[in-house]
Chain A
Amino acid sequence: MSEIFGTLFVYLAYPFVRYALVVGVLIALCSSLLGVTLVLKRFSFIGDGLSHVAFGAMAIAAVLNVSNEMLLVLPITVICAVLLLRTGQNAKIKGDAAIAMISVGALAIGYLLMNLFSTSTNLSGDVCSTLFGSTSILTLTKAEVWLCAVLSVLVVAMFVFFYNKIFSVTFDESFARATGMNAGAYNLIIAVIIAVIIVLAMNLVGSLLISALIIFPALSAMRVFKSFRAVTICSATLSVVCALLGMLISVLAGTPVGSTIVAADMAAFGIFYLIGLGGTK
């Protein structure tokens, strides 16, 4: 055990490991906060759809040789998030079908563009890295770390300041509208926050595993706690712990970062499920 801790301290001396831990924790915190809202609004799969949109946008950015991909990926993802959440009620193509359509469409277009126009010598590596995160979180530059930190702080601040409104819109949007609340505006805020989280989380777990980061902590917390506040706090704590644990196991054992974090989330869900079963008896 002391050998493991010794190795861990050696690894923690590397700046990129510290950056990864900080960014990973921030992303886990942000994603879990919104995860509760998304699960309750039955939008669990929106993270998957938007992450595929982000993948498509990254492919466009790569083809256009945009130096800072975030400048293109973030606006496109935000626009798609707004479209998906706003048109859910009245659109001809309803919520789940619209998400599925945009999801696979963006994924296909992204891969097609990368195949046709990419100048990279390692196309499969680029695709794999984007889809599964690979070691992206361990290869962040200082500027990317600061960008992630600033965006994470904004997300947390928005969630904290609009907590009561998000709570109302999440549980009963019709009632919120009836009381004079501008539910559309708050749905828009939720959409923007979701898009920012998705773009950030692509570095941590890749675009295929983002949904797990959003829904597992929320679902685990819901097995044990029943109030919105308790579920949110538990979900945030659990998500941060699993992300930290996943990243530490990954650097120590040499496993892929994204899938190790998701495996930790799954194990936590199993434990909370059993605790929940015990509590109901």
Chain B
Amino acid sequence: MKKHIITATACIILLASCGGDIGSGSGANRIDVDLTRLSSTMVYSEVYNMVSTPEDYIGKVIRMDGNLNIYPSEETNKIYYACIIADATACCQQGIEFEWEGEHTPSDYPEENTLITVVGTFDSYNEDDMTYYHLRDAKMSY
């Protein structure tokens, strides 16, 4: 039995080092990370990874759907928009801020919590000596 247990454990650990990341697409309409095709558990985990290791996703084109959240900030006097998704237990939420391409007024946006689909390039920007991440030049549909 000892031999079997040790062999099984070794195989399992080897499995962890196999494989690689999903390759990027190409062309003008390329989508590198399509969150709309993933299950809710997968979406939450992938967005968690995007938030925790953003450097791995810089420059990638992301498509995601979720609920629109609106954050007016008195400090910067700006309104921030984010696409929010919840995990399977519905107790945790992850979201990504996006910048709708073109000129838009707040009235152009749908109501908060509307289900939206956003496609944009994951990028960083600096504000008040802090680095933030968002989807720039995003196309939004709802």
Instruction: Give A residues with C-beta under 8 Å from B.
Output: 10-19, 21-22, 25-26, 29, 122, 124-125, 128-129, 132, 134-135, 138-139, 141, 145, 149, 152-153, 156-157, 159-160, 163, 229, 232-233, 236, 250-257
Residue of A nearest to B19 (CB): A18
**Interfacial chain A residues near B18, Cβ < 8 Å:** 18
**Interfacial chain A residues near B48, Cβ < 8 Å:** 135, 138-139
Interface of A is mostly: helix
6 sample A-B contacts, Cβ–Cβ < 8 Å, listed by A number: A128-B89, A135-B88, A153-B9, A160-B5, A163-B1, A255-B88
Give B8-26 interface residues, CB cut-off 8 Å to A: 8-9, 12-13, 15-16, 18-22
**Interfacial chain B residues near A256, Cβ < 8 Å:** 41, 87-89
Output the residue of A22, A122, A257 with the most chain B CB within 10 A. A22
Pairwise interchain contact B41-A128, C-beta atoms closer than 8 A? no
Interface size range of chain B in the complex? 20 to 34
**Interfacial chain B residues near A29, Cβ < 8 Å:** 5, 8-9, 12
Question: How close is B17's CB to chain A, nearest CB, in angstroms?
Answer: 9
Output the residue of B19, B41, B45, B93 with the most chain A CB within 10 A. B41
Is B81's CB within 8 Å of the partner chain A? Answer: no
Pairwise interchain contact B19-A236, C-beta atoms closer than 8 A? no
State whether A15 and B19 are in contact (beta carbons under 8 Å apart), knowing that A22-B13, A163-B2, A250-B41 are contacts in the complex.
yes
Pairwise interchain contact B42-A254, C-beta atoms closer than 8 A? yes
**Interfacial chain B residues near A253, Cβ < 8 Å:** 39
Chain B 59-100 per-residue mask, 1 if CB under 8 angstroms from chain A, else 0: 000000000000000000000000000011101110000000
